[in-house]
Amino acid sequence: MVETPDPALEAQISAELVKRIGLGDRRAEEELVRRYQRGLIYLVQRRTRDPQLALDLAQDTFRIAIEKLRQSPIEQVERVGAFLRGTALNLASADVRKHVRRGTTADSDAVDAAADDAAGPFDNVSREQDKRLVRKLLDELPVQRDREILIKTYLEDQDKSAICEALGVDSAHYNRVLFRAKERFRELLTTAASQRGLKLVDS
Amino acid sequence: MDRQYIREHGVIERYLRGALTADEEQAFEEAYLGDPDLLDQVQAAERLRDGIKELGRTGRLEQLRAPARWRQWLASPQYAVAASVLLAVSLGFSAMLYVENVDLRGTGLSQTFERTRLVRLEAYRGNNNVTPISAPETDERIVFALDAVAYDTYRATLLRRDGDQFERILTRADLEADDETILVGVPGRVLQPGAYEVLLEGRMNDWPADRFEEFTRMDLRVLPRN
């Protein structure tokens, strides 16, 4: 089980990063990029459906953010994530993006290196493997009703309350099945990723 | 937005299908931006969702959705009959084991003992040699040490004698000699004051199967405790 993130700690880290960047600390810039880049790229990619564009926009976002933070702190220093998100979403508009790409000049080694360090833990697992793992997961579920919960949730995009009513299960059971299935699938993905990593190293 | 809220409100699934409110979406995206583990969860769920949709598109999901052959067989009348027969047999067998277990408990085989007393029994072969012992406590175990001869395995039977009548108290089979001695443990509570006899039989491995040969008897007298 994963620990619940501490919002107070997150706010403290955010405020600390903002302060240090304002003082010219280049390491803080690196930390900012390292901490938020994966999530930011994913967020933008969901909006644009274009991985390369998402990478470009994320880099632009960090350039703007660092330039801004070097000059003056943001209003809510404890919410640098919100600041990055807002900036990225603004950039996701094509017109704004063109404008920014012309006007952004901040140089940052951290931003330049961002693309090298943004890989997720499952990135080396192919989509074909995904399908095999999904089949394995569904096959492992001993109760047909639990398989139906997953299928209705993800294939048919049904609402939780509708699924619970259709299958005669309560909300707690639904949450439990879904949570365990996702944790198991994540475990399968992690194993597949590590095995694939080993094969790549071997070859 | 904390983990509990995310789980209980199906936030990840609703996010993936674009069904969050604007406020929820903003809060959730801010939450996973600085939380790699939450981001892992989102990405894993997205791949699960995409994988299920892909299987659905190619028609392969129906195979998984339908009961597997073995599950269909489990639901068949043939299985019901076979399972009923098996259940009846196993119930009978369980009952038999239960009865045997009760018997064993009756002889105290499963008892734990506070004390153990070693008693050497001598074969009487023509002599009227009776070994006397005082009646053991109920939590005491008596271990009889008997001289072995050249058999591979032994069987010892404790008999209570009343005149010419013998009552079998217990039998221990598959005993093996260690340093030319056979040890036979007996729970103390079965040795009430009275006359007993220990019958010892032996068997050679290369003899015809299951053929025990009686080779000695020993008299034992259990005396009342003072």
| pLDDT tens, residue by residue, B131-144 | 889 999 888 899 99
Binned at pLDDT 50, 70 and 90, residue A164 comes out as: very high
Supply the pLDDT for residue B58.
Answer: 84
Contact criterion met (CB < 8 Å) for A36 and B3: no
Supply the pLDDT for residue B47.
Answer: 93
This model of the complex carries an ipTM of 0.84
Binned at pLDDT 50, 70 and 90, residue B25 comes out as: very high
Determine the average pLDDT of the residues in B52-67: 79
Determine the average pLDDT of the residues in A63-72: 91
What does the pLDDT look like over A112-152, one tens digit per residue? 665 556 677 888 888 888 888 998 888 888 788 888 999 99
> Is the confidence at residue B125, as pLDDT, over 70?
no
CA distance A155 to chain B (A): 5
Distance of alpha carbon A28 from alpha carbon A26, whole angstroms: 5
CA distance B86 to chain A (A): 23
CA distance B26 to chain A (A): 8
Average pLDDT, chain A: 82
Supply the pLDDT for residue B194.
Answer: 93
Residue from the list B47, B49, B60 with its beta carbon closest to the beta carbon of A122: B47
Contact criterion met (CB < 8 Å) for A82 and B51: no
With a threshold of 0.80, does the pTM exceed it? no
Contacting residues of A for B71, CB less than 8 Å apart: 144
Contacting residues of B for A178, CB less than 8 Å apart: 10, 13
Comparing B63-77, B124-138, B151-165, the range with the smallest average pLDDT is B63-77
Binned at pLDDT 50, 70 and 90, residue A1 comes out as: very low
Minimum Cα–Cα distance from B27: chain A residue: A82
Mutate to test the interface with B, among A129, A154, A160 (most CBs of B within 10 A): A154
Comparing A27-41, B15-29, B119-133, the range with the smallest average pLDDT is B119-133
